[in-house]
Structure 1
């Protein structure tokens, strides 16, 4: 059975529409977020939360990933999350920051008070 390019794209779009989450809030680079991930230990499942600053957003659509950085015991820890993954439980925006870059990789080199970002207030 031979498919044409248009039919292949329609099949891919249909699969992506089924898998994508519709209830995700709008997140931006620089936001401090609390992300819940489902962890399976033996035959039990629980939600583990990870709180940090979004450094970057990569890709789009079903492949959307965010890179989140937190400081744990004085050491910077980064982790990437696939937002449309079945293991992704929830995301809560704790604080929004005003940034002028799309990637905040410069925060890797700054430690302490210098890494603070200015807070963004929602305007109506």
Structure 2
């Protein structure tokens, strides 16, 4: 009989980029409206990564119409088509929730060289 951790290994995706908090990513999400399926891009800064294995999630924050929007994605979700790493950010924290309080140019993150 198969062990529970063996099932979770089968569900994990292997083609994910190695990203962490502070990085700018573009998440291509499958959206089903009516009977149609399309890909929606969600581009923003990774605020946090949580959990391990199939339970891991990551939070992405973007600014839309001068309003901050955050979305939490399960890392190994079948609704995520792909994740593209656009820029590497230079931060010293694993959870950069302090960006929520910053506005404008203060909310920028330096790019890692």
Q: How does the TM-score come out when normalised to structure 1? A: 0.88
Runs of 4+ in 1 over 4 A off after TM superposition: none
Residues 6-54 of structure 1: per-residue CA shift (max 9 Å, x gap): x8xx611110111000111101110000000100011110000100000
Match of 2:9 among 13, 17, 26: 17
Match of 1:56 among 33, 43, 48: 48
Unaligned runs of 5+ in 2: none
Residues 66-115 of structure 1: per-residue CA shift (max 9 Å, x gap): 00000011000000000101101100011111100011000000000001
Unaligned runs of 5+ in 1: 1-6
Find the counterpart in structure 1 of residue 102 from structure 2.
110
State the alpha-carbon separation in 2 of the partners of residues 25 and 78 from structure 1: 20
Match of 1:90 among 82, 86, 91: 82
State the alpha-carbon separation in 2 of the partners of residues 117 and 87 from structure 1: 28
RMSD of Structure 2 on Structure 1 (CA):
1.1
| Structure with max Cα Rg | 1
State the alpha-carbon separation in 1 of the partners of residues 65 and 35 from structure 2: 31
Q: How does the TM-score come out when normalised to structure 2? A: 0.96
